Amino acid sequence: MRWIVYENEEIIAGTSLRDDGFSSGVFAYGNVAAYVGDDEASVLRNRNALADAVGIPLSRWVYPQITHSDILAEVKRQDQGEGTLSVSLKFQGVDALYTKEKDLVLSVFHADCTPILVYCPKMKIVAAIHAGWPGTIKEIVSKCLDTLIAKENIGVSTLRVYIGPCLCQNHLEIDRPVLDKMKTMSFDVSPFLRYRDPDHADFDMVGCNVHQLVSRGVPMENIVIHPECTYEDPLRFYSYRKEKITGRHVSFIAMKK
């Protein structure tokens, strides 16, 4: 199972790719999501193959049930394996996870949405955030950082952040109802919009999430942004906007033992 590696001496993180695995048809090949209509046995084989490639058994991974919420939940040692063999009961409607446990893998599904992986070396905490355009508008990244600052005393200026492959601005057109929702945001989103006409604009989802990170004190030089767009490479990436019925990647992060 192939994946994009983001790693140092303290953490291992990355994003699974679609070009290797056991799924077939529209889900070929590396789909890891069981909720999209793929054969469940193939999904489980892909999950196990990825876990083997990463070097941490599937029994120590956690897969939440993504719903485009703005909810962050803490994962503890007793939660390991949650959502890996069946739909998660504990982490339903949870789009962001964090943990202080080592050798426990946090995961978020995506196909165009923005996966954001965070490591706090000061407090030894990792987090995985799923930020599609609905979560971005709900300011899930800002809310996650605010919670971690208040609850865990994270050192924001020391955070290391990886933003995985997602839909780029050229392919993320939004319409008037979404533009109206953006009026509820706590900051001016206009720098991240490129208007096609008064009711349609291309949205820079990555830039908007980076703004949320930087505005909370994360140094720009501590943010790694994967440069590829999921829409533009159908061999390596799933794109819901392009294909509708398709698989999902998983982006993940864990602290090493």
At 119, which CATH number? 3.60.140.10
Calculate what percentage of the chain has a pLDDT beyond 90.
Answer: 97
Residues 18, 29: contact at Cβ < 8 Å? Answer: yes
Give residue for tokens 């997602």: 166
Residue 89 pLDDT: 87
Number of domains making up the chain: 1
Cβ within 8 Å of residue 235, ≥6 positions away? 18, 19
Nearest in space to 54 (alpha carbons), one of 97, 107, 99, 96: 107
Residue 173 pLDDT: 98
pLDDT in single tens digits along all 257 residues of the chain? 899 999 999 999 999 999 999 999 999 999 999 999 999 999 999 999 999 999 999 999 999 999 999 999 999 999 999 999 998 989 999 999 999 999 999 999 999 999 999 999 999 999 999 999 999 999 999 999 999 999 999 999 999 999 999 999 999 999 999 999 999 999 999 999 999 999 999 999 999 999 999 999 999 999 999 999 999 999 999 999 999 999 999 999 999 98
Residues 220, 230: contact at Cβ < 8 Å? Answer: no
Domain hosting 140: range is 3-255
Nearest in space to 34 (alpha carbons), one of 46, 21, 19, 18: 46
Q: Tell me the whole-structure pTM to 2 decimals.
A: 0.97
Residue 70 pLDDT: 97
What digits encode the pLDDT tens for the residues 11-23?
999 999 999 999 9
- Please give the Cα distance from 91 to 74 (Å, whole number): 10
What digits encode the pLDDT tens for the residues 21-32?
999 999 999 999
